[in-house]
Structures are given as C-alpha cells and as structure tokens.
A and B are shown apart, each in its own frame.
Chain A
C-alpha cells in the first residue's frame, strides 16, 4: 500500500483565525476515510486547504499528494494531478453549459498529460453513460452549470463531474447534506462505482447515514482543528449513539 495523501502536523488560518492545529492524516490508495465532527471543527477548512482555495493561510506542517508537495501547487495543478473537491455548496455559473465545463476540465487534464483533446462524440457517449448512473436527465447537459438546479441536483452534478474526471483522490465535502434518502443512494452508488485499488476517498460528513451506503475503511473525528480519535466503521455508530461530546471530553 502506498500513501496517496500524507498530511503531517498541518496548521492553517482563515480570516486571521487558527482553524487547523497540527492535523495529521494518511490516506492510502484504495481506502475510503470518513471525517466526522461537530460544526466549526475545521472539516470544510481541511477540504479547502487541500484544494488550494485562496484566503487559507498555511502556518505549519506539510501535505504530500502522490509524493509531491501539494501545498506548493496551484489549485488547477492539484486538480489536474487528480485531486477532486466535491463542493458543499456548488456555485452556479449562468450561461456556461454543464457539458462545456466538463469537457474543458477533461481537456485541461489531457493537455497536462500530453494527450490530444477528447473526441466530442466519444465524450458525449461517456458522459451520457455516467448521467444514467446518476439518474440525471439529458437536459442537464445543456443547462448552465448548476443554474437553477435544486440542492440535490447540484450534488448529483458534483458526483457526475467526479465520475467523468476519475480523480486519484476525491474529497467530498458534506455531499450528503440536503439529500433525501433516494438521492443519497444514487450519490452513494456513484461514489462506490469509483472505488478502486488505486484511488482514495475522503468523505466529510456530519451524519452516520451516508456511511451506511458508502462503507468507510477508517473513521476520524475532527475536533478543534485536529484528529481527536480514529477508528473503523464502528466508531461512526458509536458517535451516532453517544454524540461528539464524548470524544471531546476524552480528547
């Protein structure tokens, strides 16, 4: 097993406030890790820091992604290297076709790899197949990116993009929030279809229910900016029963 992502002693500030305090976490290829924790514990900050969002200041520690210094890479480089962030609140980009953005993303990655642009027809076939899996209507292809989508549609669209881009590491930030049980199953099916020996998934969630459908190899509790406790999937059940206070007290 090789380490896909190695976070060591990471500290970060946002808006002048320290949010991550010496966080360490290793994700190996083939593993699914769930990160749980109360509001304000630093879950979303972790996802933005990994993706390289401007405004997040790294104050200490290091992050290696496939052996490379992730923190030295531009956000678009990280994406092309195989880091995908499924946004908690996917933004609307009016007038830009959903499929157009997707194709631009795929071609950006192919350009980096020295490959020619994707064939338009083959690409459409590929996307159509993935849309079927995500139970999305074809009309979503030509609609503006997330424009007028419901909360659930936006999340499904995130997973669709992930399936097309086939990242090495998917960081999914509360992809389950705002989903009804049927949509949750569809999203879980999409994520599970991507699981493989050479990929990793970092699931950020509040609730255990997502983990009934995407069964994690490891569960971590994030509290006050660091990993307070780690365990297997049974930890999630325990949290569901006893709440986070129990972990916080122990920590």
Chain B
C-alpha cells in the first residue's frame, strides 16, 4: 500500500492559514488593572461591567493554572500577550454590511462564512467575530420579528444591560477556574442570544471566530438564554491563521435553559493545530457550561474538535430542573503533535434527570487524546440516569488514547452505565476496502466517518458535511 497520494496532500492540510492585512487597533502586550479598565472603557461599558471585570481580575491574580490534565503545555507568559485587538474603525463605524471593509468580507468569503445573500439562502444568521470584535451581525431584523435577540456581546451590554447583569457569570462564575477568571477580566466580545418565552428560533444561529492579529489572545464570551418553552440551535465555527508561536484562546460559554426550553449548541473547532513537528498552534482553554434551570429543559452539546495544538475543554451540563436532559456528543482528533484533554461534566441535581455522553476520540501521528468525564449524581437527583459511551480509535503506533471517567453517585436510585472501547483502524478493514477498488485515503475517511457516525448525525446538516471534510483534512497522512 503506497502512502504517496496521502503525503502529497499533506501540504494543503491547513487551508485556513492566511493572514488578513488590516490595520488593527492593538493594545501593547501586558495585563494590569489599567488594561482591564481600558477594555471596558473602549467598549463604553456601564460601571457594573467595569467593576465585574476588576473583581474577576483581582481574583484571577490569586488563582493558579490548572495542571491536572494530561497535557504538556509550554509555559504561558500572560504579560507577553496583547489583550485587545480590534480592526481599526473610522469614527463613522460601519452601520451595515456594505460599509464593512471589503478585505474583511473577502476573508469571510475564503472561510466560507455565509454572510450576505448566501447566508439568507442557507437560512443561517451569522455573528462573525474577528480577533475580538464582532464585525457584522446579519438577520437581526428577521430575528427581531420573532423577538429573538442575537447580537455581539458588546451590543448586548449597551442595549440589554439588565439581561447581562442578571445572567452573566451565573453559570460560570469568575471564580470557577483560572482561564474563566482571566476571560471574565479581559473578554472583549462574543455573542449574545436571548430567545423569549414560547419562541422557536426561526433559523440556526451561527458565529464564526477567527484569530488574525499576531501575539494576541482571544477571549470571547458567549451567553445564551432560552426563556421558558423556547428552542434555539446555535452553531460555532473557529479558525486561525498559521503562526509559529502558540496563541492563547480562553473562551467562556454560558447557557441557561428555563422550563421546557431547549438549547442545541454545536461546535466545529478548527483552530490552527501547529505544523507536523508540533510548532505553533492554538492553546485552546475553554470553559463551556449550560444550566438546565427549569423543569423538562434540555441542553445538548455537539462538538467536532479537529484543531488546536492543545485542547482543554469540558462542555458541561448542570441538570437542576426536574426531568431535565443533558447530552454531549463529541469527536476529538489529535494528529501530529496535537494534544486533546476533553470531555464533559454532567451534574445531576434534579429528580429524574437524564444525561447521555457519546465521545469518539481519534489519535494519529504522535497525537495524545484523553477523554475526561465526570458524572455526578447528588442526593436530590432521585431516579437520575446516565449513559456514557466512550470509544477511541488509534491510527499508527506512536499515538495515545486515554480515558478518565469519574463517577460520583450519592443517590442509590440512580442508574449509571459506562461503555468504553479502544480499537485500531485495522489492516483488515483497510485491505477489505482496497480489495473493493477504493483508494486508501477514501477508505480511511470512510472508516473514520463510520466510527464517528453517532456524533456526526447530531450536527445540523450543513455542518455535518463541513465536519466530515475537516476530519478528512485533519487526518491526512495519518495512515501509510
């Protein structure tokens, strides 16, 4: 079996690696209270926000980086990072898409972000975050008719301060962990969604994140509130240009689902993973958590993680409401020298709460892939149920797959099931496909997609195709 066609494709393996040449309004590296105040002032925030940030910053100073994950991380110098980078704006900032810098729009075009008419046709509303500032939000009007608020976080702070003050930090407090603390102090933008009672959001909501400027960190903040009886599906895509140094990405996502509300949150993460020797790439330290506050509420996380040099991410559900449901579907790949430590936490508080975890880890090259999951059943969670399935696929013999399931049950009526498997892409499977005339590369894609099927089918259709293509690109050269 020849690996030549696969090797030939390696060169194009990161197709989002371009840099856009735009004047940025970038803060010099370093972090202190003045920087925090600068960010807050720059964004014309009300005083409660400035105070909230400063409180977070002061607490962060007392915190330590977590080192319990199975990751080797180069030391991060938090003073060498620039904490604010915005594409430079005229005093007359663009008020509509037509006024947005055409270079920026061309960037989105390259990324395949469906802004403009294409977006409407695809039925997707996009909030695009470039470095740290939200550039353009489409379809506000159609959403406004339904009463849905979908805007940049900055706009939400200006226009809906009461909602921000009520919900911000209530799911992920600034004291939660080191990276969430840092984010709380310096986050510069992100997305905000509010779906009013009984409303089914008329379209998929989507945000594209991209880190462009050099030596900047990206700290976005997303808050989604689903009022009683509402329903929303939110998609998030991420890319970053190729750079030799590591870049820090520390986002926080908070979801709140009230009675009978449902939030579906899907991520296709394709941050630059570093080159085949492990140089460069994004350090992705992200805190994502949803709270099923109300009865019969549901939060589902679906993620396809193909990028980043390091992934440290555990999208979680706090199942407070009776009969609430939490789901986590994940595909994580680690090729070359990528390291992923990812999984979920399902915290069962309410009676008859249910959670499902399906995790598919793919390791190739020298990649190290760990699943880390906590299922916690509190005494109040009478009749709680969890099902966990955790599968690992190994390609080649230099990679690793690790599983760290933690189960804490404090209610004897609970049911917790855990299934785990580790397998190799077998030569038998590969040869079987070759013998049917199928190219090796296509055969590998087919086998990998089959392995991930139960997760991919949870993604909205247009994302599922993108995810399959990404998987194919990220595993190029993995067998041969």
Contacts and interface: CB of A to CB of B under 8 A. Distances in A.
- Range of interface residues on A (Cβ < 8 Å): 20 to 34
A96 B438 contact: no
Interface string A174-212: 000000000000000000000000000000000000000
A76 B429 contact: no
Given A54-B427, A76-B440, A96 B447 contact: yes
Contacts of B446: 93, 96, 100-101, 104
A75 B434 contact: yes
A95 B432 contact: no
B115 interface: no
A76 B450 contact: no
Nearest to B431: A53
B431 A101 contact: no
Contact of B438 (A53, A54, A87, A108): A108
B439 interface: yes
A244 to B, nearest CB: 29
Interface in A87-142: 87, 90-91, 93-96, 100-101, 104-105, 108-109, 112
A91 B432 contact: yes
Given A54-B1, A54-B427, A75-B431, A93 B438 contact: no
B434 A76 contact: yes
Interface stretch (B161-169, B277-285, B338-346, B451-459): B451-459
Contacts of B2: 74
Interface residues of B, number: 25
A93 B429 CA distance: 7
Given A87-B432, A91-B429, A93-B429, A76 B439 contact: yes
Contact of B1 (A75, A87, A94, A165): A75
Contacts of A52: 434
Interface string A62-81: 00000000000011101110
Contacts of A76: 434-435, 437-440
Contacts of A145: 450
A161 interface: yes
A144 interface: yes
Contacts of A165: 436-437
B428 interface: yes
B1 A109 contact: no
B438 A105 contact: yes
A34 interface: no
Nearest to B439: A76
A85 interface: yes
B438 A104 contact: yes
B449 A95 contact: yes
Contacts of A223: none
A101 to B, nearest CB: 7
Contacts of A54: 1, 427, 431
A95 B451 contact: yes
B437 A80 contact: yes
Contact of A95 (B1, B428, B431, B452): B452
A51 interface: yes
Nearest to A106: B437
B426 interface: yes
Interface of B: 1-2, 426-429, 431-440, 442, 446-447, 449-454
13 contacts: A52-B434, A74-B434, A75-B434, A76-B437, A79-B437, A90-B432, A93-B446, A93-B447, A95-B451, A96-B446, A96-B447, A100-B446, A161-B436
Given A78-B435, A101-B438, 4 more contacts: A53-B431, A75-B435, A76-B438, A104-B442
Sorted from nearest, which 3 A-B pairs have the closest CB atoms? A95-B450, A96-B450, A79-B437
